[in-house]
Amino acid sequence: MLPQELIRRKRDGGELAADDIREFIQGIADDRIGDSQIGAFTMAVYLNGMSDAEVVALTTATRDSGHVMRWDDLDLPSPVVDKHSTGGVGDLVSLVLGPWVAACGAFVPMISGRGLGHTGGTLDKFESIPGYDPYPAPERFRRVVKDTGVAIIGQTADLAPADKRIYGVRDVTATVESIPLITASILGKKLASGLDALVMDVKVGSGAFMPTAEKSRELARSIANVASRAGTPTTALLTDMSQPLAPCAGNAVEIVESLALLRGERPQSRIMQVTRELAVEMLLAGTLAATREQALEKLDRALASGAAAEVFARMVSELGGPRDFLERFEHYLPQAPVTLAVYPQQAGKVQRIDTRAVGMTVVELGGGRLRNDATIDHSVGLSEIAAIGEQTDNQRPLAMVHARDEAAAQRAAEQLRAAVSIGDPTSQAEAVASETLIQERYRGETA
């Protein structure tokens, strides 16, 4: 079918054949289709939506537009599994989850991204570590996954190349907020990793990517079903992002917190609860545990024995970082010149947090980016962030700001005070504080 005829059919609300979608997407990857036609296609999809069959076809075509990894030639003794998140503030789950699940016997080739907007990026956090190479040669990546169990790297140009062009056009044509296009974009890249199973973490709340709770639910259902129908069994969890997930946000500060979690020092924290639930789902999906109880036992042993932390350390070393990073991380990680405690204007309990505003505070400190080509300062950020329901006063600050200079620290302090709502010390925090961290689970349907 001619590209313009495919666009016309979708513009008029028709359903596209899988072969036509595949040919169109391959034309994008081969540069035979221009940006104007991509823009017309994405707008037609945005306005008219897609059937389930169309989204599966779009996802698999995006996946197959470049190199699709294979692991069968390595004779791995256990399944290849992964997790993906829609992103948030203080969401350092991947840093802990990958090594933890690998220590339980899984193989985790995790392709991650950089931060954009108010959300942090896993690659930016790892680049806080001197020497860490987020773009190793393919054979080195495969070797690290086989020998260590996990490698967390960035997307290479040959993985789902059509998605890069489509996303660039969506970004400038107001077609980003389309569930079919978001689903195909996320899964096209993720499924190109050659996974046996996938677990998806979809955020809901003031720091979530999707604008409403219903949209987050719709995306979670779409991803679980489409990935499963594309041949990769997938479970999606809807998790709370009404406040920063960890008590910190930034790059080096999140590496420090990750090491504390891997050492078992924060067993009941919000970030650890979410990470544990995702890890359970990964072990079940990878048939490394038959029941939830077995999965929890494996995870507890891997943490208590130090095996999870050791896997993290080996991964860092194998990808070019210091061999003694686990023991001497404070020596290697950058530290901001200025640290400022931000106290509330009046004592009281934290009632609500504008999580997106907290994330933008980190961006304005220099710890994030609004453009893909922007450079960042890995040393800046926030730590000791107060949680909803926590008492703050002249002894317990809202957070600690890590900044490049005093002026930047003061600006961040004002932004933070504006982002946090404080109530009477004797009042109850709003209901959001007691909402379950794991709000819903969606297991993908294959038909």
pLDDT digits (tens, 9 = 90+) for 177-207: 899 999 999 999 999 999 999 999 999 998 8
Cα–Cα distance for residue pair 19/4, rounded to 1 Å = 15
Please indicate, yes or no, if residue 292 is contained in any of the structural domains.
Answer: yes
Residues 82 and 40 in one domain: no
* Nearest Cα residue to 421 out of 399, 398, 437, 396: 398
Average pLDDT score over residue span 229-245:
96
Per the residue annotation, which of 170, 217, 349, 378 is the catalytic one?
Answer: 170
Q: Which of 63, 189, 203, 402 is catalytic?
A: 189
**Residue range 268-276: mean pLDDT, rounded:** 95
Contact (Cβ atoms closer than 8 angstroms) between residue 304 and residue 288: no
Of the candidates 63, 84, 314, 378, the residue annotated as catalytic is 84
Known active-site residue 170: yes
Average pLDDT value over all residues in the chain: 93
- Among candidate residues 86, 119, 122, 379, the one labeled active-site is 122
Query: CATH number for the domain including 351?
Result: 3.90.1170.30
Catalytic residue among 82, 91, 196, 201: 82
CATH of the domain at 230: 3.40.1030.10
Same domain, 274 and 317: yes
Known catalytic membership, residue 83: yes
52-63 and 161-172 helices, crossing angle to 10°: 120
Q: Letter for the amino acid at 195?
A: L
The pLDDT assigned to 118 comes to 76
Same domain, 116 and 135: yes
Strands (DSSP E) along 155-272, which ranges? 197-204, 234-240, 249-250
Let me know whether 412 and 289 are in one domain: no
Whether residues 263 and 315 share a domain: the answer is yes
The answer to whether residue 220 is domain-embedded is yes
Is 278 inside a domain boundary?
yes
- In the set 59, 62, 65, 85, the catalytic residue is 85
| Catalytic site residue from 10, 118, 190, 314 | 190
Q: Do 289 and 253 share a structural domain? A: yes
Instruction: Give domain status of residue 163, yes or no.
Output: no
Segment 137-143 shows an average pLDDT of 95
Q: Which of 206-215, 261-270, 347-356, 419-428 has the lowest mean pLDDT?
A: 419-428
What are 414's two structure tokens? 């004002």
* Residue range of the domain that includes 128: 72-156+170-328+437-443
Tell me if 257 is assigned to some domain. Answer: yes
Query: Do residues 44 and 82 share a domain?
Result: no
**Nearest one of 327, 339, 329, 355 to 420, comparing CA atoms:** 355
* 308 and 417 assigned to the same domain: no
Task: Establish whether 185 is a catalytic residue.
Answer: yes
Is residue 369 predicted with pLDDT exceeding 80? Answer: no
- Active-site choice (60, 185, 216, 383): 185
Q: Which of 22, 63, 83, 142 is catalytic?
A: 83
pLDDT higher than threshold 80 for residue 299: yes
132 and 264, same domain (yes or no): yes
122 is an active site residue: yes
pLDDT beyond 50 at 219: yes
Q: Say whether both 242 and 268 belong to one domain.
A: yes
- CATH code, domain carrying 14: 1.20.970.10
Q: What is the DSSP letter of 119?
A: B
User: Are residues 278 and 206 both part of a single domain?
Assistant: yes
pLDDT digits (tens, 9 = 90+) for 335-357: 999 999 999 999 999 999 999 99
Counted domains in the chain: 3
Say what the pLDDT of residue 435 is: 56
Under the banding of pLDDT at 50, 70 and 90, the label for residue 372 is: low
Distance CA 134, CA 119 (A): 19
**379 domain-assigned:** yes
Asked if 269 and 236 sit in the same domain, the reply is yes
Residue 426 is predicted with a pLDDT of 60
Residue 56 lies in a domain: no
* 37 within some domain: yes
